Structure 1
Amino acid sequence: MPELQVQTETTPMRVMQPILRKPDATDGKNVWELVRSCRPLDENSIYANIIQADHFRDTCVLAELNGEVVGWISGHMIPNSNAFFVWQVAVSAKARGLGLGKKMLRELLSRDATAEARELKTTITQSNEASWGLFRSIARDVGGDLTDQPHFTEDEHFQGECATEHMVTITLPRAQASVARAA
């Protein structure tokens, strides 16, 4: 992954890598602010982000650079299923183009909390080219098949207010954790 170049008025150019970690409840407001800055992502309430960071911390990842939140993925294991669902991927404009989304996904796939996952699922609108690119790339890297079908539809679920969300499913080979760790 390319490294982020950071320079201030008082320091020379230096190379920095975002730090990936599990979130905690105190990160909720910063996550909310990041998601707000990443249009057209849907904003949740600050409270929802606090709950995600607290209750689902093992299946969420936060990226920090110099103490600032620059990346976030929220996800969860789908109950009664061997599928890991990615809810939201947010990368700050300051960290785009560096492969941070892919690095965060790989981190999540390498955790014990997702070890039983045989599928990676997410929903994506047809127009979200960045998300399609990210998940196609992950499918290639893990050697999994990617399929999609309309899931939450514009008319039935969103009453014409939002575009149809396609359920994207990527099969994860049994060795998915070792593939994720190898990168």
Structure 2
Amino acid sequence: MNAMNTHYPDPTLVESVNRHTLAVVVDNEPGVLARIAGLFSGRGYNIESLTVSETEHEKHLSRITIVTAGTNAILEQIKSQLERLVPVHRVVDLTVQGGAIERELALVKVQGKGESRVEAMRLASAFGAKTVDATLSSFVFELTGTTDEVERFINLMVAVGLVEVSRTGVAAMGRGADPM
């Protein structure tokens, strides 16, 4: 029997893994984040970025922004399983919705003197980073941008004396006038 007549899928066929940003509106109550994180870890899914904040104080609702990756089938499964959790009100795939605005904030500490110090200041200026602390031997820069921009900035700072990085994770919102 040749390969063209087999009933089995082509073993060399590999589905692409895509990165998606999900916005999840949940009840703001103890244990909700743990249940969502448990859903991911229990099924072997990875969370690349996770941010949580109360968004509607009067209704006690929070918004969880999750960046994850998987094949299309896995992403559909993640969304479906999230929607079935009791404290979840809605799940929106901002990547599928198209054109979501994503930003991340990073605090980047750089240590250096002389030419390294000058280069760190020049790079920070080029990226639009704000100096939030400065001593004679170090800086702390604040940078807001896409995840790729933050990564590029951090990678460049390694050469001039990167000491420490703290990142917020992705905050995302769909474009246009319509709410989530």
Instruction: Report TM bin, short chain.
Output: under 0.3
Q: Which is bigger in relative contact order (C-alpha 8 A, separation at least 6)?
A: 2
TM-score, length basis structure 1: 0.25
Q: Which structure shows the higher strand fraction? A: 2
TM-score, length basis structure 2: 0.26
